Structure 1
Amino acid sequence: MRALPPDLSTDHAACRAAIRAGSKSFYAASMLLPPTVRRPAYGLYAFCRLSDDAVDEAGSRSGRACAARRLDERLSLVYAGRPVDAPADRALAEIVSTHAIPEALPRALIEGLAWDAQERRYATLSELSAYGARVAGAVGAMMTLIMGVRDPHALARACDLGVAMQLTNIARDVGEDARAGRLYLPLDWLAEAGIDADAFLARPEATPALRAVIARLLNAAGMLYARAEPGIGALPPACRPAIRAAGLIYAEIGRAVEANALDSVGRRARVGGARKAALLARAALTPGGSDGLAAPPLPETAYLVDAVARSAVAPMQRQKNLPAWWDVPGKVVHVLDLIETLREREGFEGSGAAP
């Protein structure tokens, strides 16, 4: 890969600003990461979010397909060391080079976005998990590499967490997706519940049968959150609170859906700022275990783990020089202060933005 300019501070600042505006909860949780990990995390998430927005906002089905193809071309330029003239692309080029991220991982994300452009439906939970592996599991694997961890078991658990989060998002957004003509719920589950997919899209309603399907999806997500937990203990200690916080907040979204009587059509589940703050504090103070770390990856995410194992790079040194997590109370107070600022300035408590 061709050498990149050494000073990308402006690009990374732009990525940080994009995340602060587009995902308040991730921005707050990211403050629990050590700075050496937080900086590339902003760059990675900025590229992921901008990619998602590029496809989602492209208008027609053909326009979204073209947007996905352009993203594919941009990624090729990133790996050629010739990123397009955009902060997120230049930052990503530096990140994938520095952290030896195999191309298959960000390519998987773009493939998942292309599936969105095609308005693909998923016949089974396995097919839906394959979609989750691409749009979320791959991101979890890339974050793990940024933290300096290439162990296949840790990567498998990171993918579990990503798929769990995606299933939670789908359960929360059933009505919003349906009104946009999108359907992610497994078609076989809908058929078993006596729900005709096209009829539901024509007239979305939170019937008892639909609520049962949503409950089933949240149960599947819950099992994946449990599978993912041992992987957090395989991360550098200074990185664990932020990743645990992300998992806790997303799992809480599922509980908010349940508190809404599983009505994801007429109501949107939200996790209030005070509850997010409590979860952030809990994440910082919770010890992690390793029981279950060696469970095999999901069949749908195994190819991501294999891509890292096959990448022709020398084993990277684990990030051992990250600052120790000694000042837990001080760090939590800092994050809680940040949440209060976001709430006051940008409506953090009532924001409908994704966590």
Structure 2
Amino acid sequence: MNRANLIIQAKTSIERGSKSFARASKLFSKQTRERAWLLYSWCRACDDLADGQDHGHGMSKVANPNKTIAAMRMMTARAHGGEHTGNPPFDAFGTVAQECQIPITFANDMIDGFALDAKGWRPETENDLFQYCYHVAGAVGCMMAIVMGVSAREQEVLDRACDLGLAFQLANIARDVAEDAEAGRCYLPKAWLTEAGIDPDHVMDNDHRDALIALINRLCDLAGDYEDSARVGASSLSFRSRWAVLAAAGIYGDIARAIKQSDGMSLEQRIFTSKGKKLGWIVKAFGQALFKKSGRDRIGLWTRTRIS
């Protein structure tokens, strides 16, 4: 499949998999937008393979998860090396990786996150939680920064890009506590649960509902901290990329804010933000992008292990 057809397929994938990201991606320049779609296509395909789902919907049990992860890693390595795999999302990754010189380490780091899920891993500590968020989202943030023109040597900018991925994943975890519990998963650190008096094996027990809501709110607050840090990092990007990142940060950040304001309703129903609010962030982010934001340093925030 040639590049043009890979882009068409990738565009369809992002429109099905994430309306929020699809909308924000339209703010990029044409070249960056196409590359972002190509990267998303591969990320989405890996996620779907790992969780037995279709564009993020209908999670099902994967018959041989270790074999699936191994195949994912092999196809990613082949595509990164310039081979055509015959699998469009992986060929999409190969295309963007070759064009932007994306280090294979970031791709492997993301796949490592799926490997953790495959073995039924759960975080013991807050540090474990952040490490997991890095694998499944922070590494993607780093790759997206490179797609937007950031050098792999610009470690401080990549740290800020990682922060946006962490913010997104923390919001996802806060939103999906009930859904994850139904699937036998829990991403709330065991140390948090123990401190709150919640049995890690019975997170959804009604007797501890208020304590669980407090932990969900804690996740939302952390998501806000990392969103704020990422906004500072956006200053290093070109105007259109800065606009897109700030819009995505606001749109997705609203999910965490809505979860916290729902006072536990996220445990009963999936939290969404309205189309109007998403469009509002596109307008608001344009104004924010006109000014390069300076602000808080990263003291106190979790930091990934940097690739030398």
Q: Same fold (TM over 0.5)?
A: yes
Larger radius of gyration: 1
**Partner residue, 1:291:** 295
Work out the CA distance in 2 between the residues paired with 1:297 and 1:37. Answer: 32
Work out the CA distance in 2 between the residues paired with 1:205 and 1:14. Answer: 47
**Deviations, residues 136-186 of structure 1 (Å, cap 9, x unaligned):** 111111111111112221111000111111011100111111111111111
Taking the TM superposition and a 5 Å limit, the aligned residue runs for 1:273-288 are 273-286=275-288, 287-288=291-292
Match of 1:164 among 154, 163, 167: 167
Is the Cα contact below 8 Å between 1:133 and 1:300 reproduced in 2? no
Match of 1:225 among 224, 227, 244: 227
**Aligned residue pair count:** 298
Give yes or no for the alignment of 1:105 onto 2:100.
no
Match of 2:38 among 39, 43, 56: 43
**Partner residue, 2:57:** none
Work out the CA distance in 2 between the residues paired with 1:134 and 1:98. Answer: 23
Quickly say closer, same or farther: Cα 1:34–1:204, change in 2 above 3 A: farther
Give the partner amino acid of 1:138.
A
RMSD of aligned alpha carbons: 1.9
Deviation at 1:258, TM superposition (A): 1.7
**Partner residue, 1:216:** 218
- 1:197 alignment partner, SS class: coil
Is the Cα contact below 8 Å between 1:37 and 1:146 reproduced in 2? yes
Taking the TM superposition and a 5 Å limit, the aligned residue runs for 1:1-355 are 7-57=2-52, 59-60=60-61, 63-150=64-151, 151-200=154-203, 203=205, 207-286=209-288, 287-292=291-296, 295=298, 299-301=302-304, 303=305, 306-307=306-307, 310=308
Deviation at 1:65, TM superposition (A): 2.5
Give the partner amino acid of 2:213.
R
Is the Cα contact below 8 Å between 1:109 and 1:138 reproduced in 2? yes
Kindly indicate whether structure 1 or structure 2 has the higher relative contact order, using CA contacts under 8 Å at least 6 residues apart.
1
Identity %: 34
Quickly say closer, same or farther: Cα 1:170–1:161, change in 2 above 3 A: same
**Deviations, residues 29-83 of structure 1 (Å, cap 9, x unaligned):** 1111110100010000010001100111074465222211110111111122213
Quickly say closer, same or farther: Cα 1:297–1:156, change in 2 above 3 A: farther
Give the partner amino acid of 1:245.
A
- Give the alignment's TM-score, normalised by structure 1: 0.79
- 2:135 alignment partner, SS class: helix
* Unaligned residue ranges in structure 1 (runs of 5+): 311-355
Quickly say closer, same or farther: Cα 1:127–1:27, change in 2 above 3 A: same
Give the partner amino acid of 1:97.
Q
Is the Cα contact below 8 Å between 1:57 and 1:64 reproduced in 2? no
- Mean Cα displacement is larger for which, 158-167 or 267-276? 267-276
Runs of 4+ more than 3 Å apart: 58-62, 203-206, 295-300
Deviation at 1:98, TM superposition (A): 1.4
- Give the alignment's TM-score, normalised by structure 2: 0.91
